[in-house]
Amino acid sequence: MASIHAERAALAADLTGLDAAQWHHATLCAEWDVEQVVAHLTAVASVGRWRWIRSIVGARFRPDVHNRRRLAEHLGATPEETLDRFQRVITSTVTPSGHIPAYLGEVVVHAQDIRHPLGLTATPSADALVPVAEFYARRDFTVAGRTHSAGLHLRADDAPFSVGDGATVTGPILALVMVLAGRTAYLDELDGVGVEVLRQRLDPVAAV
């Protein structure tokens, strides 16, 4: 949870001073712009277990509908208000379930969804990235990390992370996390014979 707080604070610092065009810039989370991603992160930090259950049942178990409704709830009238709402939940300990690494991953991945297209260079700490990579590789939960990495040996060259057997994929721990989360923009930062397998799984049309 301390890592979640630290990564939220780092993202909030990056967001301070963005202009209107940047707030509405596209992100790696294709359907949302920067402001919408921030509102989503505020929602994740504001919706506890029972409220999440009521919301997902009300959305007829459609996560996309649930996410859109909660995002709209936490979107401000202006980007400044959206940022203020996010800043208020930086130290929140509320999560929809007890899967803390998954919600650390929400902050880590969505922060990079924002930073990468805007050219912002802040990088999450290895202490935050390693538990997220380990969680993503073990199971499909908020992202299909286990499916993406099945039959591959993933190894970070800048952090203590190595998992799986099979064709090797090596590179920065941040790139591994982002690719496990389905972000194809980070594939070119990875090396090894397993990279093409990942490319085909994440973007089969482009890989042909």
Task: Map out the domains of the chain as residue ranges.
Answer: 2-118, 126-207
CA distances to 15, 76, 113, 198 from 84, in Å: 11, 9, 20, 38
Q: Residue 81 contacts by C-beta under 8 Å, 6 or more apart in sequence?
A: none
Query: What is the per-residue pLDDT for 207?
Result: 40
DSSP state string for 134-197: HHHHH--SSS-HHHHHTTEEEEESSSS-EE-SSEEEEE-HHHHHHHHTT-GGGGGG-BSTTHHH
Query: What is the per-residue pLDDT for 208?
Result: 33
Q: CA-CA distance, 194 to 208, in Å (whole number)? A: 16
Query: What is the per-residue pLDDT for 65?
Result: 67
Query: What is the per-residue pLDDT for 63?
Result: 72
Q: What is the pTM of this model?
A: 0.90
Query: What is the per-residue pLDDT for 61?
Result: 67
Q: CA-CA distance, 17 to 203, in Å (whole number)? A: 34
Digitized pLDDT (tens) for each residue of the chain, 208 residues in all: 999 999 999 999 999 989 999 999 999 998 899 999 999 999 999 886 656 666 666 656 677 766 777 788 889 999 999 999 999 999 999 998 889 999 999 999 999 999 999 999 999 999 999 999 999 999 999 899 999 999 999 999 999 999 999 999 999 999 999 999 999 999 999 999 999 999 999 986 444 3
Rg (CA), the chain: 17
At 64, which amino acid appears? D
Which fold is adopted by the domain 126-207? Nonspecific Lipid-transfer Protein; Chain A (3.30.1050)
DSSP state, 28? S
